[in-house]
Amino acid sequence: MAITIYTNEDIKPGAIAGQRIAIIGYGSQGRAHAQNLKDSGHDVVAGVRHGGTGWKHATADGVPTAEPAEAVKGADIIAILTPDMVQGDVYRDIIEPNAKEGSALLFAHGFSIIYERITPRPDMDVILVAPKGPGDLVRREFQRGRGVPSLFAIEKDVTGKARDRAMGYAKGNGGATGGLLETTFREETETDLFGEQAVLCGGAKELVMQGFNTLVEAGYQPEIAYFECLHELKLIVDLFYEGGISKMHHFISETAKYGAVASGPRVVNEETKARMKTILDEIQDGTFARNWIAENEAGKPQYEAWLKADRESQIEQVGARLRERMAWLNTPKSEAA
């Protein structure tokens, strides 16, 4: 059975009318959520340190501000949109001692709940609203009268208002305009982590780098290898994004199409899938979370070493030089629109 996609018409009118929303964390998502919800007519306050970067951005955006603890006091919905690794401290030091009884704790990613970084007070609703796009896109699409599809989930409904709160928040953020899908905290968290690691960020990056290395080691010019293995990837991803695999097949040459169906499964095959399953197992059983938490607590030495190796790789050096000639990459969004 197909999943239900909720729209604005499916959400109770005034679902969160009169409820104060505190946005804790004014980064990419926090900034977009705060502005969208404010523009939708909701009572929004950004919990930011006076004089800090978040305070400066919120003030420029016309979003009311308060010190984080003050923002939490009296709020009906508290959106914790800080990075995963600091959420436990933010909850313990700022939210738990100041949140009023019966308020809702809202997340955009379920990591802190699924891996027990946070144990919310028994009186609090626990909900999730996760736009499927970066904050900049969430804001731009809202301003265009559209919206980015979003997920929502209810982990705990103490007040009987949790579902209305999650769906009302999503509507105010543009998510129901883009299409709102219901999930669970566990499903959102595990699929998100898997997608990032096995396909979108980890898998795609390694596929590009190993393709580049294969050509260079065979004697081909690094600049040509860069164009074939990284630069042109955007053209294919755009086709995937716009119309799925079928649109990609429709717009590439017959030779490219034959090579894709004949050789693609030789690169990414059952052995690859088995390794993906191992990655998923480690996400599901908590191994990944434990490793990442331990790495973070140790000061992230291995993490920094891996990032340094990527930054210093040949493909990055070649790419930086070639991108200097691509004037369109530096075109302001206002001119490119």
pLDDT at 336: 39
Task: Compare 331 and 96 and report the one with higher pLDDT.
Answer: 96
Query: Residue 251 domain-assigned?
Result: yes
Does residue 239 register a pLDDT over 50?
Answer: yes
CA distance 314 to 29: 33
Per DSSP, the three-state class of 86 is helix
Residues 131 and 241 in one domain: no
Q: What is the average per-residue pLDDT within 228-256? A: 96
Residues 207 and 265 in one domain: yes
Cα–Cα distances in angstroms (integers) from residue 324 to residues 112, 233, 318, 329, 337, in the given order: 40, 18, 10, 9, 21
Query: Residue 48 domain-assigned?
Result: yes
Query: Residue 170 domain-assigned?
Result: yes
Looking at 182, 202, 235, which one is the last position of a domain? 182
pLDDT at 131: 97
With a pLDDT cut of 90, the percent of the chain lying above it is 96
List the structure tokens of 85: 């690794």
Residues 120 and 218 in one domain: no
Residues 17 and 52 in one domain: yes
324 is in an annotated binding site: no
pLDDT at 335: 42
Q: What is the pLDDT of residues 257-278, one digit of tens each?
A: 999 999 999 999 999 999 999 9
Residues 48 and 131 in one domain: yes
150 is in an annotated binding site: no
9 is in an annotated binding site: no
Catalytic residue list: 109
pLDDT at 2: 80
Q: What is the average per-residue pLDDT within 7-24? A: 96
CA distance 188 to 186: 6
Looking at 130, 151, 182, which one is the last position of a domain? 182
Say which residues have a Cβ less than 8 Å from residue 26's Cβ, sequence separation at least 6.
34, 46, 48, 53, 54, 55, 57, 58, 81
Q: What is the CATH number of the domain that holds 259?
A: 1.10.1040.10
Residues 108 and 222 in one domain: no
Q: What is the CATH number of the domain that holds 62?
A: 3.40.50.720
Q: How many domains does the chain have?
A: 2
Query: Residue 209 domain-assigned?
Result: yes
Say which residues have a Cβ less than 8 Å from residue 185's Cβ, sequence separation at least 6.
107, 110, 113, 114, 126, 128, 153, 155
Q: Which amino acid is at 94?
A: I
Does residue 337 register a pLDDT over 50?
Answer: no
Query: Residue 52 domain-assigned?
Result: yes
Q: What is the pLDDT of residues 24-68, one digit of tens each?
A: 999 999 999 999 999 999 999 999 999 999 999 999 999 999 999
27 is in an annotated binding site: yes
Residues 10 and 148 in one domain: yes
Residues 37 and 136 in one domain: yes
Query: Residue 332 domain-assigned?
Result: no
Query: Residue 104 domain-assigned?
Result: yes
How sure is the predictor about 334, in pLDDT bands with cuts at 50, 70 and 90?
very low
Residues 233 and 134 in one domain: no
pLDDT mean across residues, the chain: 95
CA distance 287 to 282: 5
Does residue 332 register a pLDDT over 60?
Answer: no
Residues 55 and 97 in one domain: yes
29 is in an annotated binding site: yes
Residues of the domain holding 288: 194-327
28 is in an annotated binding site: yes
195 is in an annotated binding site: no
Q: What is the pLDDT of residues 69-79, one digit of tens each?
A: 999 999 999 99
Residues 222 and 198 in one domain: yes
Residues 124 and 260 in one domain: no
Looking at 138, 158, 182, which one is the last position of a domain? 182
26 is in an annotated binding site: yes
Query: Residue 333 domain-assigned?
Result: no
Q: What is the pLDDT of residues 286-305, one digit of tens each?
A: 999 999 999 999 999 999 99
